[in-house]
Amino acid sequence: MTRLRKVIIFIFCIAISQNSEAQNPNKLLSLVYAKLNKTNNYSVDVNIKVDLPFIKMPPIHAKIYYKQKDKFNLVSKNIAILPKQGFVQLTKLINDTNSFTAMYQNNEILNGTKVSLINLIPLSDTSDVVLGKLWIDEAQQLILKSQITTKLNGTIITTYEYNTQKAFGLPDVMIFEVDIKKFKIPKAVAADINTTQKKEAEKIGKKGKIIITLTGYVINKGIDDSFFKKQDNY
């Protein structure tokens, strides 16, 4: 464990020790994962709207296929920009409790809902994730917001809105706020970006948004493994 990670853990330990109402974060995470684990597989239609200052592109229509535990496929006729932090990476992270230290920080009110803020600190220096923060609706075992800091893509903040598939912990809307300076753009898109605008956005530390609307979930109807081997547009 590097010195930086030790310092981060030490700081959070001090904060927790000063909070007499500190809860058991691993128990809460296990409840969240238990809800997500009800879904063995699903397919869903997605509409992806990219709001980055150096990219002009219409909304992209695509379809997502997922199967436990980490099979994921995005199918689209067009090039799609989709941060992986909100999908497979986050689910894998909270499932492997041996790969991180979970620390309860405090309770907050997020958009009128009482949430518990949990910090996740990976124990391995080889992990792409440096630090994770989850704002969890404890009453419904739902992640309402996440902040994942990675080595490759910087910090990505995601907010989740639920409606039709709340019982499975699957969102209807996901809004990603990305750090333009570090966010990796697919090579096929990079060729068409406005380089001047991108450099200006990076210089002033501008943020961008990717808004994903998910409709028409088909859950636990079965998806063959061979489907994921044939194509992987993700």
| Residues 118, 107: Cα–Cα separation, whole Å | 9
Place of tokens 């995601």: 158
- pLDDT over threshold 90, residue 140: yes
Whether 19 has a pLDDT exceeding 50, the answer reads no
Query: In this predicted model, which residue has the larger pLDDT, 142 or 204?
Result: 142
- pTM, rounded to two decimals: 0.81
Domains delineated in the chain: 3-230 (2.50.20.10)
pLDDT of residue 1: 56
Terminal C-alpha separation, the chain? 31
**Are the beta carbons of 117 and 107 closer than 8 angstroms?**
yes
Q: Where are the alpha helices (DSSP H) in 18-162?
A: 25-36, 88-95
85/79: higher pLDDT: 79
Q: Angle at CA 117, nearest 5°, toward 111 and 123?
A: 145
Q: What is the DSSP letter of 24?
A: -
